Amino acid sequence: MTSTNDIRRSFLDYFEGAGHARVPSAPLIPHNDPTLMFVNAGMVPFKNVFVGLESRPYSTAVSSQKCVRAGGKHNDLDNVGYTARHHTFFEMLGNFSFGDYFKEQAITHAWTLLTKEWGLSPDKLTATVYHTDDQAFDLWRKIAGLPEERIIRIATKDNFWAMGPDGPSGPCSEIFYDHGEHIFGGPPGSPDEDGDRFVEIWNLVFMQHLQENDEIVADLPRPSIDTGMGLERVAAVMQGVHDNYDTDTFKALIAASEELTKTKAEGEQQASHRVIADHLRSSGFLVADGVLPANEGRGYVLRRIMRRAMRHAHILGAKEPLMHRLVPALVAEMGAAYPELVRAQPLLEATLAQEETRFRQTLANGLRLLDEATMNMGEGGTLPGETAFKLYDTYGFPYDLTEDALRARGLQVDRAGFDAAMAEQKAAARAAWKGSGEKGSDELWFDLAEELGSTEFIGYSGHEGEGVVQ
């Protein structure tokens, strides 16, 4: 079996062998974009190179980039534990061309690596292209010999990428792996595409236009390539499993939580083990890159992730803080590839232990309140917003934790009611500070908090990596 660590290495070696500069992963906190919460794609650290603001001593590069999609436009937090292919933290393998090679070579590289180097069966692969991109369609015919019915034209934004309203843009071509008839789902573009049978493994972006105000105004004189392949997804393919959570890395992490909780990752408990393994990784990598749990901004996203994992540890019957005891398994799996994890191990263990100790003081009472409030609710019921707010305010339950807790029972939360209760409390706090007459620092803080969203990062504008804090 090819290990996840081997696959990462093999990807980097392949492209380095083809002349690409091997660039280490950038930290998860974007240094070149204050509006972006976390690095969420391999191209983010290269943004300025693509737009010509920065130059590098190379024109092609390869990386395995740490990514977090747990806030903002790309938010996969709610998918975790429920789909086979989404994580909050994952590694994006990517090769990049800055005005060097273009479509033909990008497709050739992808196809060669997948089918020759790694030996995947061409019959299992399907490509999508943007509906007007005849060039890519023809290249998939020519290079890969894919039959026409397995080159699918897609007309949606899924196959058109833009850096923002202004800047480079272009069509994408995505490669899907068919995990087999025994799994529900149809090919991309079909009515059943949301199933899990066809899994997107690699996205090739052909940057060929220049946009202004969301309109294409020119073609780039030297088009560029940005690709991203999910390491965990391709590991599942190469290890002959359908589910990312059945790959070597996740199996090791889940074995550790099984051992410590004396439970099995089966039946109802499977999702809990998966959430714990996933959130252990994102917590670990975020702490290693300098994020600590807090009540606002990035730190609050981290706190949400940690507390959600901690609720699942509680579900599994953990009587004592659990998460920090899983850190050695994480470091054993990933510390060689990411030495920052090894360096952060003591801090990570201490942070998790402290957060879980604090949260456990209110967790049981909060869950009791939640049970009482929903006792008589049948499937489809809605928890009042004020109750969700009380759980947040008094028991330290992030909103999405409450949502996650009710999801398994088919219940929802009244989001608008929650927001209203939150706004009311803010207004009351603001009024209480009105005393001094002039606008003091506290009131300025309230303004700022309101502007930036003191407790929760709500979203991005509609463009890749161009985050606007709402």
The contact set with ligand ATP (CB under 6 A) reads 41, 69, 76, 85-87, 90, 92, 200-203, 228-230, 232-233
Q: Which is nearer to Mg ion, 203 or 249 (CB)?
A: 203
Residue 69: CB minimum distance to Mg ion, A = 7
Q: Which of the choices ligand ATP, Mg ion, none does residue 201 contact, using the CB cut-off of 5 to 8 A by kind? A: ligand ATP
Q: Which of the choices ligand ATP, Mg ion, none does residue 228 contact, using the CB cut-off of 5 to 8 A by kind? A: ligand ATP
Residue 158: CB minimum distance to Mg ion, A = 5
Residue 247: CB minimum distance to ligand ATP, A = 11
Q: Which of the choices ligand ATP, Mg ion, none does residue 69 contact, using the CB cut-off of 5 to 8 A by kind? A: ligand ATP
CA distance linking residue 102 with residue 168, whole number of Å = 14
Q: Which is nearer to Mg ion, 223 or 230 (CB)?
A: 230
| DSSP 8-state secondary structure symbol assigned to residue 126 | E
Q: Tell how strand 160-162 and strand 167-178 pair up.
A: antiparallel
Residue 456: CB minimum distance to ligand ATP, A = 20
Q: Tell how strand 215-230 and strand 382-383 pair up.
A: unpaired
Residue 79: CB minimum distance to ligand ATP, A = 7
- B/e letters for 73-90, b = 16+ CB within 10 Å, e = fewer, are bbbbbeebbebbbbbbbb
| DSSP 8-state secondary structure symbol assigned to residue 323 | G
Q: Which of the choices ligand ATP, Mg ion, none does residue 338 contact, using the CB cut-off of 5 to 8 A by kind? A: none
**Contact between 395 and 373 (Cβ < 8 Å):** no
By three-state DSSP, how is residue 210 classified? Answer: strand
Helix axes 231-238, 4-17, angle to 10 degrees: 110
Name residue 63's beta-bridge partners. Answer: 94
Comparing every residue's Cβ against ligand ATP, the nearest one is 230
**Residue numbers at the binding site for Mg ion (CB under 5 A):** 200, 203
Q: Which is nearer to ligand ATP, 192 or 424 (CB)?
A: 192
Neighbouring C-alpha atoms within 13 Å toward the C-beta of 432: 7
Q: Which of the choices ligand ATP, Mg ion, none does residue 87 contact, using the CB cut-off of 5 to 8 A by kind? A: ligand ATP
**Contact between 379 and 361 (Cβ < 8 Å):** no
Cα dist from 26 to 39, 40, 46, 204, 243, whole Å: 8, 11, 10, 20, 27
Q: Which is nearer to ligand ATP, 38 or 98 (CB)?
A: 38
Q: Which is nearer to ligand ATP, 42 or 293 (CB)?
A: 42
Residue 77: CB minimum distance to ligand ATP, A = 9
Q: Which is nearer to ligand ATP, 226 or 456 (CB)?
A: 226
Residue 74: CB minimum distance to ligand ATP, A = 6
Residue 141: CB minimum distance to ligand ATP, A = 22
Q: Which of the choices Mg ion, ligand ATP, none does residue 11 contact, using the CB cut-off of 5 to 8 A by kind? A: none
Q: Which is nearer to ligand ATP, 204 or 316 (CB)?
A: 204
Q: Which of the choices Mg ion, ligand ATP, none does residue 232 contact, using the CB cut-off of 5 to 8 A by kind? A: ligand ATP
**What is the full DSSP assignment across 33-100?**
-TT-SS--STTGGGHHHHTTSS--S-SEEEEEEEEE-BSSSSB-GGGTTTSSS--SEEEEEEEEESSS
Q: Which is nearer to ligand ATP, 70 or 315 (CB)?
A: 70
Residue 450: CB minimum distance to ligand ATP, A = 30
**Contact between 393 and 425 (Cβ < 8 Å):** yes
Phi/psi for 85 (5° steps) reads -130, 5
Q: Which of the choices ligand ATP, Mg ion, none does residue 159 contact, using the CB cut-off of 5 to 8 A by kind? A: none
**Kind plus residue range of the DSSP H or E element containing 6:** helix 4-17
Comparing every residue's Cβ against Mg ion, the nearest one is 203
| DSSP 8-state secondary structure symbol assigned to residue 114 | I
Q: Which of the choices Mg ion, ligand ATP, none does residue 90 contact, using the CB cut-off of 5 to 8 A by kind? A: ligand ATP
CA distance linking residue 305 with residue 435, whole number of Å = 38
DSSP count for the chain of H helices, then E strands: 14, 11
Q: Which of the choices Mg ion, ligand ATP, none does residue 390 contact, using the CB cut-off of 5 to 8 A by kind? A: none
Q: Which is nearer to ligand ATP, 85 or 242 (CB)?
A: 85
Q: Which is nearer to ligand ATP, 81 or 228 (CB)?
A: 228
Q: Which of 194, 190, 226, 204 is nearest to 85 (CA)?
A: 194
Q: Which is nearer to ligand ATP, 140 or 202 (CB)?
A: 202
Residue 294: CB minimum distance to Mg ion, A = 26
| DSSP 8-state secondary structure symbol assigned to residue 336 | T
Q: Which of the choices Mg ion, ligand ATP, none does residue 160 contact, using the CB cut-off of 5 to 8 A by kind? A: none
Residue 199: CB minimum distance to ligand ATP, A = 7
